[in-house]
């Protein structure tokens, strides 16, 4: 479908326009006029003010946007099925993929503007609303958002300039687009770049609550063009994405050397002589780190190939991780009783309210962030307006938000975010493990989001039960809230001595509280900083405990995670470079213990 082109003489400008206000409506005519001047229809403005009151402009704007989405989408369906008087062409959702329409040819796009549906079709306005985009021609589906792209003229540009100009005219900062093009490579599609930028924007902020952005109005197209040209010149000097930054090819299914529900496909493996324990070691990080990062990790850890496992085979949530270790792989066994493996097993009371069109059985990876009440209210309104069987476009919007924020259905048309104690259960921690001690709800989510999935780790560590029936000495690096210690305890492996190294005081307090509550008989030593754990301190620790049987931990993934599109510097990043301290400490312990033996 060819993009509709503006006439040359009607080239868009970025000035705001005014519409005559009707005399009918709420008492505050200035408030009505304010939203009319933003381009919304007076009927929707009046309706929203009556429902939301005149005191909260943010709530009025949110209500107007919600009405616009539902009403305009229904109008699109009607125009498609029965014909439209203005001959505007519409596209059914089922003609598109779930993410985007890949029929769009980036090389044919010049400049684009986006108009919320229902606003003036005059080419003299450019208004961009992140919540929902509408205009006259091509449509792209990205994360549940409809983006209609309108071609300004037929002139062609080189592909990279074309894409940059297109994204800039959508309102993305030139620096963000440049970063995305550098990271994603020259062949990345518009959709890939937008997903990259959106993830980067989420990674930049430390705010935990999800906030829908207010409509943004961009008012200087000539300045945008100048910035585009400057960014293009910088891009030409940077070159393509380095080969070592490619994403590693992950196995499918991601079961490593086997999981309880699927028979092992590998019966044995050969380890390099330098890697053979004791001490045993176990290192974890995100599976979606780059190929180059995993090759570096493997090279430093004695050329051992990572074991990639998705925790969805152990619990009700996906958690794709890579594990490098020298543990035996035979005679593994799972923790009993087996934890819930599906959402409905974990939360049976949700079945009553779960719509048949929501086919989720697993949560996505549990994050350090969670959805806001504002988001769940918007979802409720979107579903409630449509009755028991919402149209496809509403279903897609709702499902995108449910998947992104792991929402559950808790009432008729009502969704909610998971609570911290529910996340604890899914990740295999005891109830109230992170509760109390001055920790806020935000702190609890952050600590849990950075932790091990206990059942997965316990399955791998289960081989140690017969090797150390009388207990173990453990050096736990980046120990967080004690996922490794909880796993060993659930396996009924006595913890004789645990040296836990964790920077977060809150996490250290959680670990200390668990140690006391479970009446551990061994000794717990807390240290704060792995970088200060030098050979002298290690020698003293080894002398005091008699050596370590297991060195376990996962260095920070901040600079390696696929969701971090801003500071994804891999193992050279400020936090993730602490991997080298894991290796340094492991190698030092091996040298000291060999010398003592």
Alpha-carbon distance of 457 to 282, in angstroms, equals 9
Alpha-carbon distance of 297 to 190, in angstroms, equals 32
Sign of CA dihedral 409, 410, 411, 414: negative
- Which three-class secondary structure state does DSSP give residue 370? strand
Alpha-carbon distance of 319 to 157, in angstroms, equals 42
Helices (H), 472-597: 483-490, 505-517, 535-545, 579-596
Alpha-carbon distance of 11 to 561, in angstroms, equals 42
Asked if 557 is an active-site residue, the reply is yes
| Catalytic position from the list 114, 184, 386, 557 | 557
Q: Which of 145, 144, 143 is CA-nearest to residue 128?
A: 145
Q: Which residue has the tokens 């003293």?
A: 540
Say which residues have a Cβ less than 8 Å from residue 387's Cβ, sequence separation at least 6: none
Pairing of the two strands 138-142 and 145-151: antiparallel
With b for 16 or more beta-carbon neighbours within 10 A and e for fewer, the 490-505 pattern comes to bbebebbbbbbbbbbe
**Using an 8 Å Cβ cutoff, are 570 and 293 in contact?**
yes
**Using an 8 Å Cβ cutoff, are 500 and 476 in contact?**
yes
Long-range Cβ contacts of 22-28 (<8 Å, 24+ apart): 25/49, 26/50, 26/54, 27/54, 28/54
Q: Which of 408, 400, 406 is CA-nearest to residue 97?
A: 400
Residues designated as active site: 557
């Amino acid at each position: 479908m060819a993009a509709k082109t503006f006439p040359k003489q009607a080239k868009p400008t970025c000035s705001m326009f005014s519409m005559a206000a009707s005399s009918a409506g709420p008492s505050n005519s200035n408030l009505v006029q304010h939203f009319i001047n933003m381009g919304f229809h007076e009927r929707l403005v009046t309706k929203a003010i009556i429902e939301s009151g005149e005191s909260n402009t943010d709530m009025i704007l949110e209500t107007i946007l919600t009405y616009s989405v539902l009403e305009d989408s229904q109008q699109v369906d009607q125009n498609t099925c029965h014909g439209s008087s203005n001959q505007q062409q519409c596209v059914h959702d089922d003609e598109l993929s779930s993410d985007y329409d890949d029929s769009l040819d980036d090389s044919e796009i010049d400049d684009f503007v986006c108009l919320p549906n229902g606003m003036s079709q005059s080419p003299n306005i450019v208004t961009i609303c992140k919540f929902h985009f509408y205009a006259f021609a091509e449509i792209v589906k990205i994360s549940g958002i409809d983006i209609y792209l309108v071609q300004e003229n037929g002139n062609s540009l080189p592909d990279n300039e074309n894409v940059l100009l297109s994204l800039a005219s959508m309102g993305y900062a030139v620096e963000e687009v440049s970063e995305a093009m550098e990271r994603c490579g020259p062949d990345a599609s518009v959709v890939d770049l937008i997903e990259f930028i959106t993830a980067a924007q989420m990674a930049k902020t430390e705010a935990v609550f999800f906030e829908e952005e207010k409509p943004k109005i961009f008012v200087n197209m000539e300045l945008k063009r100048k910035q585009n040209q400057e960014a293009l010149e910088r891009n030409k000097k940077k070159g393509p994405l380095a080969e070592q930054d490619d994403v590693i090819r992950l196995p499918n299914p991601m079961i490593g050397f086997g999981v309880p529900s699927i028979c092992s496909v590998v019966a044995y493996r050969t380890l390099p002589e330098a890697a053979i324990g004791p001490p045993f070691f176990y290192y974890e990080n995100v599976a979606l780190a780059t190929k180059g990062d995993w090759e570096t990790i493997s090279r430093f850890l004695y050329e051992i190939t990572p074991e990639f496992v998705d925790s969805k085979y152990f619990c009700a949530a996906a958690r794709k991780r890579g594990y490098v270790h020298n543990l035996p792989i035979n005679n593994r066994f799972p923790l009993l009783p087996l934890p819930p493996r599906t959402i409905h097993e974990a939360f049976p009371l949700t079945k009553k309210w779960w719509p048949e069109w929501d086919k989720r059985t697993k949560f996505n990876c549990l994050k350090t962030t969670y959805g806001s009440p504002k988001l769940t209210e918007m979802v409720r309104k979107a579903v409630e307006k449509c009755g028991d069987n919402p149209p496809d476009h509403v279903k897609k919007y709702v499902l995108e938000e449910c998947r992104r924020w792991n929402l559950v259905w808790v009432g008729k048309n009502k969704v909610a975010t998971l609570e911290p104690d529910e996340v604890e259960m899914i990740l295999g921690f005891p109830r109230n493990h992170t509760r109390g001690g001055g920790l806020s709800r935000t702190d609890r989510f952050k600590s849990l989001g950075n932790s091990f999935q206990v059942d997965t780790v316990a399955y791998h560590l289960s081989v140690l039960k017969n090797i150390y029936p009388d207990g173990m000495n453990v050096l736990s690096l980046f120990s967080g809230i004690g996922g490794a210690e909880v796993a060993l305890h659930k396996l009924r492996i006595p913890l004789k001595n645990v040296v836990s190294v964790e920077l977060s005081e809150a996490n250290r307090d959680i670990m200390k509280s668990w140690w006391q509550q479970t009446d551990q008989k061994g000794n717990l030593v807390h240290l704060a900083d792995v970088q200060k754990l030098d050979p002298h301190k290690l020698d003293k620790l080894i002398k005091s405990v008699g050596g370590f049987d297991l060195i376990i931990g996962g260095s920070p993934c901040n600079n390696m995670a696929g969701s971090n599109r801003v500071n994804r510097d891999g193992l050279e990043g400020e936090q993730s470079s602490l991997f080298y301290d894991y290796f340094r400490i492991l190698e030092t312990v091996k040298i000291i213990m060999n010398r003592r033996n």
